Amino acid sequence: MKKFFGTDGIRGKTGDYPVTPDFFVRLGYAAGLVLTKHVESNIKPTVVIGKDTRISGYMLESALESGFSAAGVDVYLTGPIPTPAIAFLTQSLGADIGIMITASHNPYEDNGIKLFSGHGTKLSDELEHEIEAMIDTQIKCVDPDKLGKARRLDNAREQYVEFCLKTLKKDINLNSYKIVLDCAHGATYQVAPEIFKRLGAELIVINHEPDGLNINFKAGSTHPEFLIEAVKTHKADFGIAFDGDGDRVVMVSDQGELVDGDQILYLIMDYYLKVDELKGGVVGTLMTNLALEEKCIALGIPFERSNVGDRYVSEKLRERSWFLGGENSGHILLLNHHSTGDGIISALQTIAALLDKNKKLSEALCELPMYPQVLINIPLSQKVDVGSSFIQEI
């Protein structure tokens, strides 16, 4: 069982161990040592570091940068940008690792990191174990001429915008749509409006003025009631809400209905099936609504469930050589387009499905009547491994 890394990196309250400046310096140094061990001796390792809009991101970014530099690793800094952009940039720049400083949908008081391999996938358990084993190593800087250099990637956002746009067919535009975008005062606040404007949509953008303290506060995918109200007020065709780091999405129909990840996954699946682009089956999780599984079976599409967590969905997709899966929380995996979950790309593919159907979102939802579900959170007094006998007995 890992000491610091959970299923999606490290997360906690800023100022409480391990989300502290001194730990992040040691984390950067430890990760740098591990990278150095795994690359050719004559090549300097590189890391891409991004962040969401939390005020603590600046402090933690500087700490990570210092640790990596001390280990002789060059650093690319992107500034505020969505998590999937870091996965993309890590791969496109040929970097060895990507780190996103974020606590996703949590409030601003929390922060943490998500790590990506050079292929843009979640870092393996093996490498996370290696990094943890080096955390307590005394920091000993490389020689001055071998210190890592840090540089800002001024065109990082533009590279990501172009990447997202290329996932759509060239003849698609959004000229006929009025859309409300909720950016959660988070990492999508610059790139998402730019992408939808370039596609010709009439936009109403809400919650796009981050101040370091308001990320996810009464905003974004975890507070869809504000998007529902905005869609109704502006008589929009639909609304789109992202979480703080932009890797998940929920939508709201023209009738003010909340559209969760299971429904989004269905619309994309059905679209790919009709245009003959669905290869293999679909992966959901233990939380996926039974209606989606039954629909897949009725259509002759293989369906499997993974443990909850996008990393487990991704693992099962790769095991099966499939590309489409997701969670009802709005994490959608489209491995035909990206190596990780991407809220913006998921929204774009859903809109492509609506255009193909020539239906309103509320009309398309009628194709998948959902079963009622109840979620009960049970607090635990200590961290428990999901594979433990205790959990299995439950």
Q: Are residues 111 and 21 in the same domain?
A: yes
Q: Which of 154, 186, 219 is the last residue of a domain?
A: 154
The mean pLDDT value of the chain amounts to 95
Q: Which of 154, 180, 209 is the last residue of a domain?
A: 154
Distance between CA 67 and CA 31 in Å, rounded?
Answer: 9
Q: Pairing between strand 150-152 and 97-101?
A: unpaired
Q: Are residues 188 and 104 in the same domain?
A: no
Nearest Cα neighbor of 100 from 150, 108, 88, 323 is 88
Is position 385 within any domain?
Answer: no
Query: 217 Cβ partners below 8 Å, 6+ apart?
Result: 107, 108, 185
Q: Are residues 68 and 83 in the same domain?
A: yes
b/e burial code for range 60-84 (CB count within 10 A of at least 16 → b): bbbbbbbbbbbbbbbbbbbbbbbbb
Q: Which of 154, 169, 202 is the last residue of a domain?
A: 154
Q: Are residues 142 and 172 in the same domain?
A: no
> How does residue 39 score in pLDDT terms, banded at 50, 70 and 90?
confident
What confidence score (pLDDT) does residue 43 get?
86
Q: What is the pTM of this model?
A: 0.94
The domain of 349 spans 160-365
Q: Are residues 180 and 324 in the same domain?
A: yes
Are the beta carbons of 268 and 350 closer than 8 angstroms?
yes
Give the tens place of pLDDT for each residue, 101-156.
999 999 999 999 999 999 999 998 899 999 999 999 999 999 999 999 999 999 99
Q: Provide mean pLDDT across the span 33-54.
A: 92
**Cα–chain center distance at 264:** 16
Is position 3 within any domain?
Answer: no
pLDDT reading at 348 higher than 60? yes
pLDDT higher at 229 or 2: 229
Is position 144 within any domain?
Answer: yes
Give the tens place of pLDDT for each residue, 296-325.
999 999 999 999 988 899 999 999 999 999
Query: What's 6's DSSP letter?
Result: B
Q: Are residues 114 and 195 in the same domain?
A: no
Q: Are residues 105 and 243 in the same domain?
A: no
Share of the chain above pLDDT 70, in %: 96
Is position 5 within any domain?
Answer: no
Q: Are residues 139 and 180 in the same domain?
A: no
Neighbours of 175 (CB within 10 A): 8
Are the beta carbons of 97 and 35 closer than 8 angstroms?
yes
Q: What is the CATH number of the domain that holds 298?
A: 3.40.120.10
Is position 119 within any domain?
Answer: yes
Q: Are residues 231 and 141 in the same domain?
A: no
Which residues carry out catalysis?
104
Is position 62 within any domain?
Answer: yes
Cis peptide before 224 (omega within 30 of 0): no
Is position 278 within any domain?
Answer: yes
Give the tens place of pLDDT for each residue, 270-294.
999 999 999 999 999 999 999 999 9
Q: Are residues 38 and 128 in the same domain?
A: yes
Q: Are residues 18 and 76 in the same domain?
A: yes
What confidence score (pLDDT) does residue 1 get?
63
Q: Provide mean pLDDT across the span 235-250.
A: 98
Q: Are residues 128 and 255 in the same domain?
A: no
Is position 386 within any domain?
Answer: no
What is the number of structural domains in the chain? Answer: 2
Give the tens place of pLDDT for each residue, 56-98.
999 999 999 999 999 999 999 999 999 999 999 999 999 999 9
Query: What's 144's DSSP letter?
Result: G
pLDDT reading at 394 higher than 90? no
Give the tens place of pLDDT for each residue, 154-208.
999 999 999 999 999 999 999 999 999 999 999 999 999 999 999 999 999 999 9
Are the beta carbons of 46 and 93 closer than 8 angstroms?
yes
What confidence score (pLDDT) does residue 307 get?
92
> How does residue 386 score in pLDDT terms, banded at 50, 70 and 90?
low
